[in-house]
């Protein structure tokens, strides 16, 4: 390998100094933040943004770019400083507004808020999962679209992880899967400074992390992160010869250069203070001027940006030639890039044969098999439950170690990791990922769902076994509080379809939502209702709609979701026999309903509707918005029990007779 030029090393040293100076200035000005990581890892960022990353800051969405994920999101000023210096559209003024309202430099990096931020990170471990998902996505794209004449995809994914990331369980889940799949485009830098927020790492951890990654099937290396020659030699070799995911253990010093705080937890999450800041800049040999950027660094990146743009231009020419030679692949590429939905999507789904009675999970599986052929960007899998949650696309194979030609992913019993990897797939902007598990296990992946919602990522969760009526597995597996818990997440659609007709609508809603959607599906068979066989725009697309209309002022209005909708219809028929006027409202998605115009909203839930009653096999949280304080919520106030579904219906008041007893 050719020697790394001294002139370039000097520029990268100046860039590392600028990263340190900008970072501690921003933290000090905000009087809030984490200066320790930027001080300790500045050379890693300088090398990546100044030398290693193949990308184009003038087009942050260049599809074959190398990605950098800061899993240790608390060190966000390391990233923001690097983005500013390397030419991304992030001004010096934005750095000065670090952690201020409506700035592009929030306390932790947020995808969509700041160009160049590849993932929303901060909750430790999740950035590692996002990086695994991105690397997996790029492997899939490479195998799908690269030809012997044209290599469209050869990008790498770099991720900076802290001790905290390594301790979080989700990093174990995703790293094990990455090793199993032999993702040879994934590189972790482990910021091994041996310090936690609370004190030395030795007070809470003593495992051999390097050995752990070797056990996962990763290549591992030790690196002095302050030696540019060693860094260049290693990264250049890895880029050419990598056969497995790589973990580079970097022996960093937290708060490097801070005379009074270097190497201690005191520099992790608090400003240095004016005197320590000045002393640190003096020790580092950087300007005392606030937010100073050396002219040499500006000039270097002015020239480098031209090369970065040329890199994308060369790729564009390659893409043009590839497109001409491979028209069918080009068409599929365009569909994936645009997340294209066919105009006749609803018509295609309405062509699926619907039995008189079918479990929600089976109805969804039938939809999924049709969608698989229509949507080339639809990839997904299950947390070791594909035979139960029915997420396996029948016509397509399983992704295997080193073979990414399939479209089904076996995530193993790794719900949280699965959620973070799905987010990473979505972040490539080429996939619509779906993942499956039992609804009760959504708790394991809840923070990944939350970050998908915060980032407005189109990820679809197929949550089956959606109520106590799954039966004998008992309360450990029976969701009770989960509808309310998921409805509480902003920008997430929770869709609980009543039957096979509404299942089709649930998928249409999820595919049209620019954010995550959770489809809650029954294990048990549910009658297919004639009344739900309506166009999407008149049913699930409204979030709630009148299933049974009263002829005069209603005595009762029954609101229900999922498997309790057919039950509500049966109760309504019995009330009708007693001469009562009844309205039945199916409410598959609260969030969609709340988005309707006021006129429609009032037509469904407004006015004098008689006694209002909700029927849902979960806690009543959220229902009183629709039924009022005086309304009756037929709900669950315990954790269920282990018994056949019919016995549970009687025990917990979800049979026709028990409901009539409560309301008459």
Q: Give per-residue pLDDT as tens, 422-471.
A: 999 999 999 999 999 999 999 999 999 999 999 999 999 999 999 999 99
The answer to whether 501 and 528 are in contact (CB under 8 A) is yes
**Active site annotation includes 415:** yes
Q: Give per-residue pLDDT as tens, 98-129.
A: 999 999 999 999 999 999 999 999 999 999 99
Q: How many of the other CB atoms lie within 10 Å of CB of 401?
A: 12
Q: Which residue has the tokens 């909708």?
A: 565
Domain with CATH 3.40.50.970 in the chain: 6-309, 345-532
Checking 607-612 for CB contacts under 8 A at 24+ apart, the result is: 608/553, 609/554, 609/557, 609/583, 610/553, 610/554, 610/555, 610/556, 610/557, 610/581, 610/583, 611/555, 611/556, 611/557, 611/663, 612/556, 612/557, 612/559
- Please name the residues in contact with 292: beta carbons below 8 A apart, sequence gap of 6 or more: 18, 21, 22, 286
Give the strand pairing for 357-359 and 246-250. unpaired
Task: Using alpha carbons, select from 627, 605, 462 the residue that is nearest to residue 543.
Answer: 605
Q: Is the pLDDT of residue 54 over 70?
A: yes
Domain with CATH 3.40.50.920 in the chain: 544-663
Tell me the mean pLDDT in the region 47-62: 98
What is the token pair recorded at 551? 């002829």
Q: Write down the CATH superfamily of domain 345-532.
A: Thiamin diphosphate (ThDP)-binding fold, Pyr/PP domains (3.40.50.970)
Catalytic residue among 415, 550, 564, 591: 415
Q: Give per-residue pLDDT as tens, 592-618.
A: 999 999 999 999 999 999 999 999 999
What is the token pair recorded at 163? 């001790």
CATH of domain 544-663: 3.40.50.920
The answer to whether 542 and 518 are in contact (CB under 8 A) is no
Give the strand pairing for 611-615 and 632-634. parallel
What percentage of residues in the chain have a pLDDT greater than 90? 99
- From residue 496, alpha-carbon distances to 572, 578, 590 in Å are 20, 30, 10
| pLDDT at residue 153, rounded to an integer | 98
Mean pLDDT of all residues belonging to the chain: 97
The answer to whether 612 and 443 are in contact (CB under 8 A) is no
| pLDDT at residue 3, rounded to an integer | 77
CA 430, distance to chain mean position in Å, is 14
Q: Is the pLDDT of residue 2 over 80?
A: no
What are the DSSP calls for 179-238, one per residue? HHHT-TTEEEEEE---B-SSSBGGGT----HHHHHHHHT-EEEEE-TT-HHHHHHHHHHH
Report the C-alpha dihedral over residues 497, 501, 507, 509, rounded to 10 degrees: -80
* Alpha helix (H) residue ranges in 242-389: 274-284, 295-325, 327-338, 345-350, 360-374, 386-389
The answer to whether 416 and 444 are in contact (CB under 8 A) is yes
Q: Give per-residue pLDDT as tens, 282-337.
A: 999 999 999 999 999 999 999 999 999 999 999 999 999 999 999 999 999 999 99
Give the span between the Cα atoms of 206 and 307, in whole angstroms: 45
Q: Is the pLDDT of residue 1 over 70?
A: no
Tell me the mean pLDDT in the region 255-267: 96
Tell me the mean pLDDT in the region 67-85: 98
- Please name the residues in contact with 148: beta carbons below 8 A apart, sequence gap of 6 or more: none
Residues forming beta bridges with residue 558, ordered by sequence position? 584, 613
- Which stretches does DSSP call E strand in 465-502? 493-495
Task: Using alpha carbons, select from 110, 210, 126 the residue that is nearest to residue 168.
Answer: 126
* 3-class secondary structure, 400: strand
What interhelical angle do 228-241 and 6-30 show, nearest 10? 100
Q: Give per-residue pLDDT as tens, 545-590.
A: 999 999 999 999 999 999 999 999 999 999 999 999 999 999 999 9
Q: Give per-residue pLDDT as tens, 186-223.
A: 999 999 999 999 999 999 999 999 999 999 999 999 99
Give the span between the Cα atoms of 6 and 2, in whole angstroms: 12
CATH topology of domain 6-309: Rossmann fold (3.40.50)
Q: In whole angstroms, how large is the CA radius of gyration of the chain? A: 28
Q: Give per-residue pLDDT as tens, 356-407.
A: 999 999 999 999 999 999 999 999 999 999 999 999 999 999 999 999 999 9
Residues forming beta bridges with residue 433, ordered by sequence position? 379
- From residue 21, alpha-carbon distances to 15, 45, 109, 276, 624 in Å are 10, 14, 19, 13, 54
């Amino acid at each position: 390998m050719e020697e790394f030029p001294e002139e370039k090393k000097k520029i990268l040293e100046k860039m590392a100094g600028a990263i340190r100076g900008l970072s501690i200035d921003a933290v000090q000005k905000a009087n809030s933040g984490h200066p320790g990581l930027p001080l300790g890892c500045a050379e890693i960022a300088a090398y990546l943004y100044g030398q290693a990353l193949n990308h184009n800051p003038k087009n942050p969405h260049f599809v074959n770019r190398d990605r950098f994920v800061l899993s240790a999101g608390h060190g966000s000023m390391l990233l923001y400083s690097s983005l500013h210096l390397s030419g991304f559209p992030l001004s010096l003024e934005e750095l000065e507004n670090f952690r201020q309202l409506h700035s592009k430099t929030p306390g932790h990096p947020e995808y969509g808020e700041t160009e160049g931020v590849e993932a929303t990170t901060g909750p430790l471990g999740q950035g590692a999962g996002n990086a695994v998902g991105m690397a997996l996505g790029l492997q899939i794209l490479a195998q799908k679209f690269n030809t012997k004449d044209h290599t469209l995809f050869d990008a790498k994914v770099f991720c900076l992880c802290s001790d905290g990331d390594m301790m979080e369980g989700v990093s174990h889940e995703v790293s094990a899967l990455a090793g199993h799949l032999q993702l040879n485009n994934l590189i972790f830098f482990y910021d091994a400074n041996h310090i936690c927020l609370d004190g030395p790492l030795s007070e809470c951890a003593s495992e051999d992390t390097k050995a752990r990654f070797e056990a996962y099937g990763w290549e591992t290396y030790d690196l002095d992160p302050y030696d540019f020659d060693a860094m260049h030699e290693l990264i250049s070799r890895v880029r050419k010869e990598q056969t497995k995911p790589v973990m580079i253990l970097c022996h960093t010093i937290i708060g490097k250069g801070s005379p009074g705080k270097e190497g201690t937890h005191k520099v992790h999450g608090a400003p240095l203070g004016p005197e320590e800041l000045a002393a640190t800049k003096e020790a580092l040999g950087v300007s005392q001027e606030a937010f100073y950027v050396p002219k040499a660094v500006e000039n270097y990146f002015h020239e480098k940006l031209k090369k970065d743009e040329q890199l994308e231009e060369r790729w564009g020419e390659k893409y043009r030639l590839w497109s001409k030679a491979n028209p069918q692949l080009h068409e599929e590429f365009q569909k994936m890039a645009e997340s294209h939905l066919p105009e006749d999507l609803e018509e295609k789904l309405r062509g699926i044969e619907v039995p008189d009675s079918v479990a929600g999970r089976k109805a969804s599986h039938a939809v999924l098999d049709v969608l698989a052929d229509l949507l080339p960007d639809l990839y997904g899998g299950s947390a070791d439950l594909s035979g139960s949650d029915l997420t396996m696309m029948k016509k397509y194979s399983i992704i295997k170690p080193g073979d990414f030609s399939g479209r089904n992913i076996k995530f193993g019993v790794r719900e949280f990791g699965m959620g973070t990897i799905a987010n990473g797939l979505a972040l490539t902007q080429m996939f619509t990922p779906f993942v499956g598990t039992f609804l009760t296990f959504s708790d394991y992946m809840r923070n990944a769902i939350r970050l998908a919602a915060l980032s407005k990522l189109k990820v679809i969760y197929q949550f089956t076994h959606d109520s106590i009526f799954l039966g004998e597995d008992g309360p450990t597996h029976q969701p009770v509080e989960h509808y309310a818990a998921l409805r509480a997440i902003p920008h997430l659609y929770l869709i609980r379809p009543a039957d096979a007709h509404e299942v089709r609508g649930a998928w249409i809603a999820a595919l049209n939502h620019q954010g995550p959607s959770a489809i809650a599906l029954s294990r048990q068979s549910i009658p297919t209702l004639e009344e739900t066989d309506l166009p999407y725009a008149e049913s699930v697309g409204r979030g709630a709609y009148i299933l049974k209309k009263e002829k005069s002022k209603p005595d009762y209005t029954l609101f229900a979701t999922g498997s309790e909708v057919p039950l509500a219809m049966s109760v309504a028929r019995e009330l009708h026999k007693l001469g009562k006027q009844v309205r039945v409202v199916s409410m598959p998605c609260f969030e969609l309903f709340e988005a309707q115009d006021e006129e429609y909203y009032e037509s469904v839930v407004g006015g004098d509707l008689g006694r209002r009653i909700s029927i849902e096999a979960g806690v009543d949280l959220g229902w009183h918005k629709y039924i009022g304080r005086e309304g009756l919520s037929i709900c669950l106030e315990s954790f269920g029990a282990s018994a056949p579904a019919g016995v549970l219906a009687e025990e917990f008041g979800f049979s026709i007779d028990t409901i009539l007893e409560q309301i008459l």
